[in-house]
Structure 1
Amino acid sequence: MESSNIKLYYQNTRGLRSKTVQFFHNVVSTDYNVICLTETWLKGGVLSGELFPGGYQVFRRDRGDAVSVKKDGGGVLVAVDSSLDASHHPELQSTAEDVWVSIKSGDKLVYIVCAYLPPSDKSSYHSFLNNFESNQQLISNNTVIVVGDFNLPHVGWVDSVDSPNLVPVNVGDESAEFIDLFSLFGFNQFSTTRNSKDRILDLIFCNENFIDRVSKSEDPLVPEDRHHPSLEFHYKYQRYQPLRGSLKFTKNFKRADYDCINRELSSLDWVELFDGLNVDDAVSIFYDRIGKLIDKHVPTFRVNTKYLSYFRKDTIKCIKQKLYYHKKYKKFRNQSDYINYSILRKSSKNLICRDYSTYLQSVESDILSSNNGKGFWRYMSNRRKSRMFIPKKMTLETSSANGPREVCELFATFFKSTFETPKDGTVFHFRKNPKISIAVDESEVRNLLQNIEINKSPGPTEYPQFS
């Protein structure tokens, strides 16, 4: 367990449907641990995988999932780096537009609430406050961060001589209930970034003084609306090691030593290996020998899970340098670091556009050259894919598991229930000199191999159809 800062980003995006490509590429080139968005204007036709690369757990609530007097617009979203142990809590949400997510911090939970309250929508306003009040016990026992656009334009936020925190002024009757409730629950407001009209509309509340370095973001994920500047801030928390998969590695079959594989396969006496075994044991022996040959003669490489597959090396290098100088500038406030960061930010965007343009050209060529439409559906599949994260807790009926071994045992229990165990295992005896003979014609085997559909999935063994 160790203390560290998580970096949070917030923006009222004023719609993402027409900005998905730009947003996706900007997310890849940043290092935010948590991204909170309001007014996403998303609907079910836009998948989360079109907005976020692998490595993010996305919890969203489009306007259609909430009760609002308006049909279009709205929508809230919270995306959390999969290295953090996050959970969605729909049971805590109101009928307004809010999403509740918790992050494990030591032996406690930190709740992040992202909300959007439309102007002149009293039903959403009261629903959010009534629900917030009903969660009083949970709020009093945990750290809660609330971010969003609450449409309180007349409320001002000023420094206090008696407190290090901002205090509200010009609180009218329509906003008094909101301010009073948050004050009663011990929340302070930390955002000081003003919009073009010198107002603070997008607010950051927390019931603990753990919010640090709230500032206007220098690299918005989408172009800013003049009324809603993007914000970034830090929160200090106790890191908890979640249940997650190991680093992803795969085999490069194009560089395998097939001469050695053929020689070693030819030297194996399969009759002797399988003699006296039942079918299950024989199959296990077969896969074990094939697996050892693959491990021995097929090189392994690590799969890049952070950056997109079509990013070139110079693009990735530029993004890393940009993040380095941004972090350095934030720490030391050296103007030369900011100049380097600005130059690298512009260069990285140009390089990403270059790589994306090249990728689209290759996809279009693949689609046009594929007479059976496979190129098109391959592209659609890649667009819709989103790397899944492993939840911290899995359940099966009345049983639950939250450790790697326990989860595996739970899966084994589930799959075992779908099979029947045979009473007696069938044993096959392989004789050294069988009376039957099998003639295999080399040209026939070659013809069958050449007609294998190479685009088929390799299956659970991950062995390719051909190499």
Structure 2
Amino acid sequence: MTVWAKLFLNSLKKVQFPNLDFLYATPWIYCANDEFGTVVRCPPNSCGLILGEFYSYLNFFQRNFVPNDRNAFLDLTFTNRNDLVVSEAVDCVFDKSVYHKPYHFELTFNNGKEKTLNFVQFFYDFRNANYLGVNSYLCGVDWDHVLNVINIDDAVSEFYHILNMAIALFVPLKRFKTSSFPSWFSGELKYLIQQKKISHKKYQSSHTVADYEVFSDLRARCKTLKETCYQNFISNLDQLLYTNPKSFWYKFNNRRATNRLPDLMTYNDGEFAGCEQIAEGFARFFSTVYNGDNIVLPSRQAGVNMTIPNPKLSIGLIFDKIFRLPLKLSAGPDGIPNYFLRKCVCALSYPLSILFSRSLDLTVFPSEWKLSFITPIFKCGAANEMINYRSVCVQSAIPKLLDSLIYDQINFYCKELLLKKMNSMASVVASLLLQTCCCIRVLC
């Protein structure tokens, strides 16, 4: 036993206090609950007061009202939840004791609509990454040896493994947290508001004229700066409407729209609740829209004497295509955004040329590049019915790059076929328009 514990026990004396709800067998300490938390009664100048003040400061309540076989309370349960119920356990892990009983805890969680917590997650900040280190790391890899495997899926997995290692080493990991301030608040205004709250709290505790003057000055500065920030925000929006209407309406639609799905959704007389069940329901619905088993490929005889050579994807073509990618930070299932590809275009052009060439030579599209995010977009009608949603596919940047390169290669050879099809369609449309005009003249 420590010296502090000995002094603590020696300072306690048995004193009776009337009108107490519960008496605990902790040596000469009497505990009760009020509306603010735990109340501890013990002799004056006792170390037991520290225990009571600590739990009362945290607004903790003692919820174990089941005594032991000697009608004493040795096992205490402190919590800030008023709905915690402590009872004697029926199935015991250990043998019962005279001084200690097994306990069963029940805590009710409300699944109804409550105030949601701030969404917090970690993300890679590709904008502030050390791309000098990333390019140096990727240029030091022997890609011919790493990607020299028989299975194309294994080669793609090794490629992503090296990319993820470079990202983990040279890209900072930051935490995204939803701000409680409006988007048009400046950094200076946020700082002043925090200082105003601190000064107000200080004034409430001191009630001095000096503290009130500091608080009053900060409040006036916050009010003035808030009006200035709002006027600048409105002015920037007006200017954005003329200079970049697309960006303006994008922000406007984001403010109006909401991506939140109902908590309970229906499909084919079935109900789905919770994230996993709703995702499974959308998977069933979207799977009925597309069925890849009944696809019939068109005949190779197109009716046109035309020979399409195999696409040749050189390092220069891949470099130019990556360099023209938009600087977007959004990523697909592989987690690689366009911003990262453009910043590492010199180091990634060669390994991508190896993977693209092997995929075309083997006529195999890697399984990892077939993955995509499916997002349900609400169309119209009842929001809780899944049939009123359409799916949007979000692919990774690298397979989209391959699709774009192949399109550029075969588009030139398919123009003749497309033009002939379009001419035949145009003749049909022209005849229909001529017949419509004749009918209109007759009716008139």
State the TM-score, normalized to the length of structure 1. 0.35
Higher helix share: 2
**Structure with a larger share of its residues in strand:** 1
TM-score by length of 2: 0.36
Tell me: higher relative CO, structure 1 or 2? Use CA pairs within 8 A at least 6 residues apart: 1
